[in-house]
């Protein structure tokens, strides 16, 4: 399967775009501390590179939310790992690897708003706009991508391929 991966974004392109996003986030959160919530497992690569490039002080949280089986979204959202600390009165940035239908991020945003953050913004590495079913405001977008099944740089196919240093795609049957 990995031998059929077509490269979409090379590692250098990823890092350059992430640096631009970090600069934009720093400008928006100037003088503040931001609670960054990395959505496991896929967003961890993006989150680490993003926060390393940011100058803004951060608190790091992780959540694990799932809606996929294989290559298809089930639209049934399952929180596998919740927050460790309160978000009340905090500026929060959700960092996610991808948005396609929008169901997961919409659910997650609504769920986190019940925790009474001061503000809540969304950063996604890859936006598959043509698959959108639910309108979700994305504050920081890395790349708008075609409707392909992506792999690498955190994206996986049944848990394989996350460690590829680039984003590629595979044609699904």
Instruction: For residue range 81-118, list pLDDT tens digits in order.
Output: 989 899 999 999 999 999 998 988 999 999 999 999 99
For the whole model, what pTM was predicted?
A: 0.91
Give, for all 173 residues of the chain, the pLDDT tens digit: 567 899 999 999 999 999 999 999 999 999 999 999 999 889 999 999 999 999 999 999 999 987 655 555 556 778 889 898 999 999 999 999 999 989 889 999 999 999 999 999 999 999 999 989 999 999 999 999 999 999 999 999 888 999 999 999 987 65
Between CA 111 and CA 116 the distance in angstroms is: 10
Q: Which two tokens stand for residue 3?
A: 């031998």
Residue 160 maps to a domain:
no
Cα atoms in the Cβ-side hemisphere of radius 13 Å centred on 57:
4
Number of domains in the chain: 1
pLDDT at 50 (0 to 100): 98
**C-alpha separations of 134 from 7, 97, 139 in Å:** 28, 17, 16
- Provide the annotated active-site residues: 100
Question: What CATH number should be reported for the domain holding residue 16?
Answer: 3.40.50.2020
Residue 92 maps to a domain:
yes
Domain range for residue 135? 11-148
| DSSP-derived secondary structure letter, 155 | B
pLDDT at 155 (0 to 100): 93
């Amino acid at each position: 399967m990995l031998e059929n991966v077509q490269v979409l974004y090379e590692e250098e392109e990823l890092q350059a775009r992430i640096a631009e996003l970090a600069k934009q986030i720093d400008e928006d959160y100037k003088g503040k501390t931001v609670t960054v919530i990395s959505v496991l497992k896929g967003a961890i690569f993006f989150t680490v590179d993003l926060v390393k490039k940011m100058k803004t002080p951060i608190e790091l949280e992780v959540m694990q939310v799932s809606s996929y089986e294989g290559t298809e979204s089930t639209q049934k959202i399952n929180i596998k790992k919740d927050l460790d600390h309160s978000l009340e009165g905090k500026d929060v940035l959700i960092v996610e690897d991808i948005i396609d239908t929008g169901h997961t991020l919409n659910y997650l945003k609504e769920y986190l708003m019940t925790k009474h953050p001061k503000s809540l913004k969304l950063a996604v590495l890859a936006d598959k706009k043509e698959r959108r079913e639910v309108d979700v405001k994305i504050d920081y977008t890395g790349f708008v991508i075609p409707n392909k099944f992506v792999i690498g740089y955190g994206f996986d196919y049944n848990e394989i391929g996350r460690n590829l240093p680039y984003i590629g795609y595979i044609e699904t049957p």
